[in-house]
Chains A and B, each alone.
Chain A
Amino acid sequence: MASASAGGAAPDAAKLTNLVRQDCGSCHGLTLKGGLGKPLTADHLRTWSRDQLVNIILDGVPGTPMPPWRPLISEADARWIAERLQQGNLP
């Protein structure tokens, strides 16, 4: 099984889905409708570009609780997450 953090490896859908639902879900809600963090529903993310979201995931938002995930996941992982969220098809 590929590690979610292995650089260059294909994103591990099951592992990333668990990460998003469970760990991102602590702030953004398991259903992604928001909490302390903003909603991550496709509708809410419509106005953002894919690259902007990838950057936010990797580098966080300074001054807010959104942390940089770069130490833990690869850019391919972040892009996979941003895609699923914007398409509203996270498993």
Chain B
Amino acid sequence: MMIVARLLMALLLVLPVTARADGLRGTGNLGLVIERATGSVVIVDTTARQAIGHVEGLGDLSHASVVFSPDQRYAYVFGRDGGLTKVDLLTASIAKRIVQAGNSIGGAISDDGELIAVSNYEPGGVRVFDAGTLEPVANIPAVGENGKPSKALGLVDLPGRRFAWALYDAGEIWIADLSAPQAPVVTKLTGVGKLPYDGNVTPDGRHYLAGLFGEDGVVHVDTWQSPLKAERILNGYGRGEEALPVYKMPHLEGWAAVGDKLLLPAVGHHELIAVDLHSFAEAGRVATYGQPVFAVARPDGRYVWVNFAHPLNDTIDIVDTQTLKVIRRFSPGPAVLHMEFTPRGNEVWVSVRDADRVDVYDAATFAKKAEIPAQKPSGIFFTARATRIGQ
């Protein structure tokens, strides 16, 4: 043992004294930025605030999302064209890539890190793969109660090797237990509402919510209850006001869970709706600059950063979660698409698509600290997501 250690030490000493000459580094401060137009990703170091790698050949990333392996070395990138690409952050290379469907919308990784699930529009349904090899494990077509195929979306992981998703056309929510992946046990909640457009689960993995596009309301499933049932909340939140045109669908991914409240984008209204996390009743509104797309909480829950749909997408509102008031409104540049906080919330990274740039802001002073060039950047994903439920 001693000899081996001495040999290793000797070896290290003869290597050139450059940064990381040993080739070792952790991945806890790494992340990935989607370059949507070129089908590529930039690997970033959040401590150095720099790009450290570039990976091409990921297909159509016009709508892309990412989950991470438990060891935070691999990123699984879900592309629009059904591509599922496993990217090695340490070597900045593609470890494995498959095209698993014709048109897809997002994915999730099981709590044990062994299964990757992808929600697809074409063919509608969820396909499940081995996280190591990307070999197929299960296929769950989204055929609604009406017998018709449906787009599957709003896919998240739940504790207990489960996944939840919604059926857009059929208006259903399905929760699947993949403890035995060859024989998934699927609970189907039917007739939950018109056109669920996205879904997400609270950070504790308990409450699944799906937003409805076809009516004013949200569907709530408390996954601790048995049998599972879907309940409508926030019914008629538009209160009969004429809905405004929605030029980009809001996302519930990254919704803001702060203390005892959840802040959700309203559909067709320029506001966030605060939901009480105990009663699931409305707990207030926040008037915003435009149709919110993402409402992302600083990890300590003090502020929520909000971006907006086209054509008001050059602006960010910062909401104080104690007063539910916008305390700052500023314009980072043309087409602000996404915001991601560093794990402890000291900084926030903002993609400014039409400026071909990612900006890094101090999350306390709101001062800009760095700009990182990227081609048509959209989603920003940091490896700390690996530790969170429902990411």
Contact = CB atoms under 8 A, between A and B. Distances in A.
A72 B290 CA distance: 14
A67 B244 CA distance: 9
Interface stretch (A29-37, A41-49, A81-89): A29-37
B213 A35 contact: no
Interface in A1-34: 18, 21-23, 25-27, 29-31, 33-34
A31 B60 contact: yes
Contacts of B62: 25-26, 29-31, 35
A72 B63 contact: no
- State which size class the interface on A falls in: 20 to 34
A65 B105 contact: no
- State which size class the interface on B falls in: 20 to 34
Contact of B103 (A34, A69, A71, A72): A34
Contact of A67 (B153, B195, B245, B335): B245
B104 to A, nearest CB: 9
A11 B386 CA distance: 46
Interface in B122-181: 122, 151, 153, 168
Nearest to B335: A22
Tell me if B's interface is mostly helix, strand, loop or mixed. loop
B274 to A, nearest CB: 24
Given A34-B121, A65-B197, 12 more contacts: A22-B37, A23-B248, A23-B310, A29-B80, A30-B61, A31-B62, A31-B80, A31-B81, A33-B81, A63-B214, A67-B247, A72-B310
14 contacts: A18-B354, A22-B37, A22-B353, A29-B62, A30-B36, A30-B60, A31-B80, A34-B121, A34-B122, A35-B103, A36-B153, A36-B168, A67-B247, A72-B310
Interface of B: 36-37, 60-63, 80-81, 103, 105, 121-122, 151, 153, 168, 195, 197, 213-214, 245-249, 310-311, 335, 353-354, 376
